[in-house]
Amino acid sequence: MRLAMGPTKTVQGRVLSAMDTSTCRGSTGHRVNYEFSPDPGREFRGSMNLCQESPYYSVNNGDEVEVQFVPSDPAVNALQGGTANGAPPVALFLLMPVFILAMFAPIFVPQLREVLRARRLFKKGRLALGTVIFVKKRITTSWPGWLGNSAAEVYVEFESPMSKKLEAIAWCQNDWLVTHLEPGAKVHIAYMGEKPDRVALLEAYLR
């Protein structure tokens, strides 16, 4: 990655030895040992496995090659335009966070979304006393064989400031609370709007 993304220099090097290897996924490759001098009086050596698509695949002892190295650390070097067989591509490291996010997003994003919704409703919305109608368990499966994220949807009834009865759904991941929310139980909610579909169940965030 330092050779691919950082500042580098290129100098002439010399092949010390080249021998056959079997590191090219079924085809014959060459392991080339070389030396180069980034500065007068300093010599470094390196080696690289080359497959048939490499421009230096057919080099022999004593041939000149272009060596790319990191100026601050010449021990990090490679043949210019060579292909290091077995070395993971730089794009793999760059895309790894995306893969991790795609794997865990279905697990944590719903929780984060509901927490942010509850925070917004509590700060900017209205508070009311509601009555539990019923509770429905919900399991979100993200991957085959994965248990997923368990939560519950609590259906509540409450009155608006205009004395109008409304019904809405609250998200709850507090398993202990869910077992105690029987129909008719009183709960505190936060909501916004005249006819909200979703409300925040405040008891779900008490510890």
**Quick one: DSSP state of residue 179?**
H
Cβ atoms of 65 and 92 within 8 Å: the answer is no
CATH number of 104-205: 2.40.50
Q: Give domain 2-87's CATH number out of 1.10.287, 2.40.50, 1.10.150, 3.20.20.
A: 2.40.50
pTM, rounded to two decimals: 0.49
Burial 135-151 (b: 16+ CB within 10 A, else e): beeeeeebeeeeeebeb
**Quick one: DSSP state of residue 123?**
H
Burial 171-183 (b: 16+ CB within 10 A, else e): bbbbeebbeebee
- Closest residue by Cα to residue 21 from 85, 88, 76: 85
In the chain, list all ranges with CATH 2.40.50: 2-87, 104-205
Report the mean per-residue pLDDT for the chain: 83
Mean pLDDT value across residues 165-194: 90
Distance CA 194, CA 203 (A): 22
Q: Give the pLDDT confidence of 29-86 residue by residue, as tens digits.
A: 888 999 999 988 889 999 988 888 888 888 889 999 999 999 999 999 999 876 554 4
Instruction: Say if strands 64-70 and 73-79 run parallel, antiparallel, or are unpaired.
Output: antiparallel
